Amino acid sequence: MPKLLFLAALNLVKNPGRALALVLGIGGPLFLFIAGAAISAGLSRDATVSIESGADIYVTFDRGGLDANIPVSYVEELSKSQFVVEVRPRIVARLAVAPETWALVLGIDPIAAEEATGLQSGRLFESNSKNEVALGPVLAQRLGLTPGKQLLLATAFTHKVVTVVGILSRKGTLWDSAVIWAPFAQAQELFGMRDLATDILIRTRDEISATRLADRLARSEPRLRIQTRGLVRRYVLQGYGVTSGVFSAIYAVTFASGVLALLVISGLGSKERRREVALLKALGWSARHILVLVSLEALLCCLLASALSFLFAFAWVRLFNAPLLASLFIAELDWFPGIEIPAQFDAGILALGLGVSLAITWAGTLIPTWRTACVPLRETLR
């Protein structure tokens, strides 16, 4: 076997054009697949942080299947429950702050007990602050804002000049990038939502308390839409994978370039291959040995293509922060993302990519070689 492996390597070195076409045909889509799968796994991990650090129950009004604002009076009502530890109202809205630039305005009072570790510069505002906000790093960079500078926030209800007191860290999650974080009362004033919130976040004693409270609320108040942490976890984690979304496009590219690679190795190089097989048969090689040699050649090609694709994807995403590539996988992201792109490289994805590329190349090489190797030598030479 080592001799055959060496001969397979020798064959590849002798035909660099064929090997290069195969490596490029397989390696290109594999690079996209590995990078996309790593970003998907990284985002899924960050989504888990969002779920686990989030509330136990989210309550809002249901308006024909869509969310509607909920009166803040529910906060007091919900606080009375024996299952509840903490109830916080929140406003989530979007606002155009410059041409083609959306900001996500988040109105929620900070938990004062925690030390502010999520800031890159400046400080955090107080809950009772009237005109102070903290900005996401990408938004601050795009608008050229630093702590101490002022920003005019204009809605249909009011025009409000706010002072930027802090810039959020770049080491947070993807979703922090374009946030304007303001105290709840300030966001209410900005969006004319007096006595209203977009949702109410409830923290309960434990998961069982959350389930009981959610059941009780669903029975007592049919207008409410209630989402528990368990429900969110179940639904969101099934949304991350490598079977749908942009991966469908990657598979289409893989299929197309696989066909091209097959053409190169089985069609365009068939004459050359037939001559090689005939020569080996003349030297006394059996069909089995020829097939082993050819499959080793394909294996070496696939090993080279998958190693190169993995290393390129790893360097592109981890070292250079996925320029030009991340925006293919994440919506509303700049070509050169200003935040750290989450990524998690997995041996399983690499193995899957290697397996698929092996299946393609073996199908493309073994069948024509077998057909050539099984006919008598005289026929092959003709």
Partner 1 sequence: MMSRAHGFLIALAVLWAAVVAGLALPQNEIRSEARYLQRQWGGLGLGAHAAAGSCWFVFDPRIEPYCPNFERPFSALPNFCPRHSTTVSRLPVLTADAREPRSQVLGKGAIETLPQPRSE
Q: CA distances (Å), 131 to each of 125, 159, 307, in order?
A: 9, 12, 54
Among 50, 79, 146, 158, binds partner 1 (CB under 8 A): 50
What track of x and - describes contact with partner 1 for positions 155 through 184 (by CB under 8 A)? -------------xx-xxxxxxxxx-x---
Minimum distance from CB of 367 to partner 1 (Å)?
25
* Window 72-101: residues binding partner 1 (CB under 8 A): 88, 90, 92, 94
State the nearest-atom distance from the C-beta of 12 to partner 1, in Å: 7
Q: Of 144 and 376, which has the nearer Cβ to partner 1?
A: 144
Residues 72, 75, 196, 236: which binds partner 1 (CB under 8 A)? 236
Q: Please, which residue, 261 or 302, has the CB nearer to partner 1?
A: 302
Q: Which is nearer to partner 1, 240 or 370 (CB)?
A: 240
Contact 165, 132 (CB under 8 A): yes
Contact between 285 and partner 1 per CB under 8 A: no
Nearest to 104 by CA among 332, 353, 355: 332
How far apart CA 12 and CA 4 sit, in angstroms, is: 12
As given in the structure block, the two tokens for residue 186 are 């300030």
* Contact between 143 and partner 1 per CB under 8 A: no
Q: Which of residues 328-347 bind partner 1 (CB under 8 A)?
A: 328-333, 337, 339-340, 342-347
Among 24, 67, 196, 263, binds partner 1 (CB under 8 A): 67
Alpha-carbon distance of 140 to 147, in angstroms, equals 9
To the nearest 10°, the Cα dihedral for 223, 226, 231, 233? 130
Q: How far is CA 326 from the centre of its chain?
A: 8
If binding is defined by CB under 8 A, does position 310 make contact with partner 1? yes
- CA–CA distance, 19 with 12 (Å, rounded to integer): 6
Asked whether position 42 contacts partner 1 by CB under 8 A, the answer is yes
Residue with smaller CB distance to partner 1, 172 or 364: 172
Q: By CB under 8 A, which span of 182-190, 263-271, 274-282, 304-312 interacts with partner 1?
A: 304-312
Cα 128 to chain centroid distance, Å, stands at: 37
Residue 191 binds partner 1, judged by CB under 8 A: no
Query: Does the protein bind partner 1 through residue 197 (CB under 8 A)?
Result: no
If one asks whether residue 294 binds partner 1 (CB under 8 A), the answer comes out as no
Residue owning tokens 């030598």: 377
Q: From CA 28, how far away is CA 21, in angstroms rounded?
A: 11
CB of 231 to partner 1, least distance (A): 6
- The closest alpha carbon to 366, from 269, 294, 274, belongs to 294
Q: Coil, strand, or helix at residue 349?
A: helix
Q: Does 307 bind partner 1 (CB under 8 A)?
A: yes
Binding test (CB under 8 A) with partner 1, winner from 161, 218, 253, 256: 218
How many residues bind to partner 1 according to rule CB under 8 A? 100
If one asks whether residue 226 binds partner 1 (CB under 8 A), the answer comes out as: yes
Residue 59 to residue 72: CA distance in whole angstroms:
11
Among 22, 70, 108, 153, indicate the residue that binds partner 1 (CB under 8 A): 108
Q: Which of 375, 47, 25 is nearest to 238 (CA)?
A: 47
In DSSP terms, which residues pair with 150 in a beta bridge?
Answer: 163
Q: Which amino acid, residue 226?
A: I
293 contacts partner 1 (rule: CB under 8 A): no
